[in-house]
A and B are shown apart, each in its own frame.
Chain A
């Protein structure tokens, strides 16, 4: 089934630990995005990538890093998790970035304790 897949679906993580959230899409979309969603704050963009090999910072990039080695995969890494990174994380993709709809993964619920 074509779409965008995130893993894990949920995780409890000790503060200070390193964690990588995985995101894979099979729609051959060029643009991919990582958002976090917190109550009352909506979807906030962490990092984005408009094509393989390029990435950019969104509005809340601190404490996160991404890579885009190929078209399909866009992992998000928390180098040293902190409790404020407790959130629901969504990966999304779109065909070309401008003027097209975004498709979302099912989300990863991360709790940092």
Chain B
């Protein structure tokens, strides 16, 4: 089982709609999660972080975390064409056997917002 799983998409939504991006994870010890946005040909950039169960809102973005279900999601309200990108989910870096921390990402979901 992969540590982080996302549907690769593409997820197509019309402009102005709500886009819902989902992520499941296998490590029950994960406490915090990050959502990154990656435009085509560019590097990932952090857009949201969430550290506790429930919802966290920032402008048009809402991150939702359910640790019991090992599920994290990102909602984008009033989707705009500029939101078209790949969205990557990542739990915080985890300690690994032998020492050190490892930061693992999901494969990402491609979002297309259509006019």
Contacts and interface: CB of A to CB of B under 8 A. Distances in A.
B24 interface: no
B43 A56 contact: no
B93 interface: yes
Interface size class of A (residues with CB under 8 A): 20 to 34
B8 A99 contact: no
B92 to A, nearest CB: 4
B31 interface: yes
Interface residues of B, number: 28
A92 B103 contact: yes
Contacts of A96: 101
Contacts of A90: 43-44
Report whether over half of chain B's contact residues are helix, strand or loop; otherwise say mixed: loop
B93 A99 contact: yes
Contacts of B102: 45, 48, 56, 58
A82 interface: no
Interface in A20-37: 31, 33, 35
Q: Which of A42, A50, A97 has the most CB of B within 10 A?
A: A42
Contacts of B42: 106-107
B103 A97 contact: yes
10 contacts: A42-B105, A48-B102, A48-B103, A54-B100, A98-B93, A99-B32, A100-B93, A101-B49, A102-B44, A104-B44
Interface of A: 31, 33, 35, 40-43, 45, 48, 50, 54, 56, 58, 90, 92, 94, 96-107
Closest 3 CB pairs of A and B: A42-B107, A97-B101, A104-B43
